[in-house]
Amino acid sequence: MEKKLTAQGPRDRKSYTVTLPKEWVKKEKLDELRLVELKVVGNKLVISPSKEIQEEAIINADDYNKSLIKVIPGLYRLGINKIRINLLDNNLLEKIIEIINKRLIGYEIIEQRKDFIIVKDITKESGEDFKTILRRVFLLLLELSNSEDAVQVRTLDKNIKRLINYCQRILIKNGHTEFLRTPLYYLLLDQLEKIGDELKWILSIKRRKEILDKITKVFRQGYEVFYKFDPKKFDEYSNKAYQLKNEIRLGDKINTGDMYLHNLARLINSLSGTMLMIRFND
């Protein structure tokens, strides 16, 4: 839908207005008394009927006894700035603190009482951080793929997860300058986290190093193509990822090592499609 701008005011202080579609205004039940949220995202102007990000949340930790590792990071990625966590079982407190310290950049416990704690984001996310941190995730994954030290593998994995959670939080709260590609970047990060998990599991059993070296080489090629896109190099990388996946396709006899290697190759093959959608005509 195209709209014509209307100039208003004196020539030296001119401003411009545009009308909103009547159907949208009626659907959102807006009128001249209501405020709308206006945000500049790259070269786009996004207008929404109200603030979309929920600022605060309250949860009962006992309701999520076995799933806190998913619930708290999930609220974090949603962009929620303040969470009150009610506690009936204080044994869960240490588990919550561990999740916050190991996975969530910026979250801190600002209040702690006998039956609840309050967690708050004390940082201000910057869209400019996103590109830097995303590249860092790639580099840490490459470092992880070459690591043979168990302690280093664990610490790299934790750092990767923290950075990916932070990047996904930025995307939910602020979007991306390439507005239409925001969900693709979120998907890319999800795929990178899964690649990190497979790498960690493979390295823990130290199997089939020659195949892992091939996978790492293809992944590095994908990283280089993503940050310096070239159609022919992308085509070569995508084909190698596909061929590698087929090379280690699981047969009738399945062992744990081959399963992880196959999953890793499959994820790297899927990654190529996401990369293309993000970088094509960029």
Query: Which sequence spans correspond to the domains of the chain?
Result: 6-48, 56-121, 127-279
Write out the two tokens for 128. 């400019």
Average pLDDT over residues 17-46: 78
Asked if pLDDT for residue 254 goes beyond 70, the answer is no
Q: Please list the residues that pair with 91 across neighbouring strands.
A: none
Asked if pLDDT for residue 222 goes beyond 70, the answer is yes
pTM exceeds cut of 0.95 = no
Q: What is the average pLDDT value for the chain, to the nearest integer?
A: 84
| 3.60.21, 3.30.110, 3.30.870, 1.10.3470: CATH of 56-121 | 3.30.110
pLDDT digits (tens, 9 = 90+) for 50-103: 655 568 899 999 889 888 988 999 999 988 999 999 987 778 888 899 999 888
The backbone torsions φ and ψ at residue 65, rounded to the nearest 5 degrees and listed phi first, read -50, -45
The backbone torsions φ and ψ at residue 230, rounded to the nearest 5 degrees and listed phi first, read -145, 125
Report pLDDT for 41. 67
Q: Which of 121, 60, 53 is nearest to 87 (CA)?
A: 60
> Left, alpha or beta for 25 (phi > 0: left; psi -120 to 50: alpha)?
alpha
Asked if pLDDT for residue 169 goes beyond 60, the answer is yes
Q: Decide if 225 contacts 237 (C-beta within 8 A).
A: yes
| DSSP class of 114 | S
Burial class of residue 173 (count of CB atoms within 10 Å of its CB; 0-12, 13-18, 19+): middle
How far are the Cα atoms of 205, 247, 261 from residue 256, in angstroms, in the given order?
9, 17, 9
Reported as a pLDDT band with limits 50, 70 and 90, residue 26 is: confident
Within 10 angstroms of residue 170's Cβ, the number of other Cβ atoms is 22
Report pLDDT for 128. 64
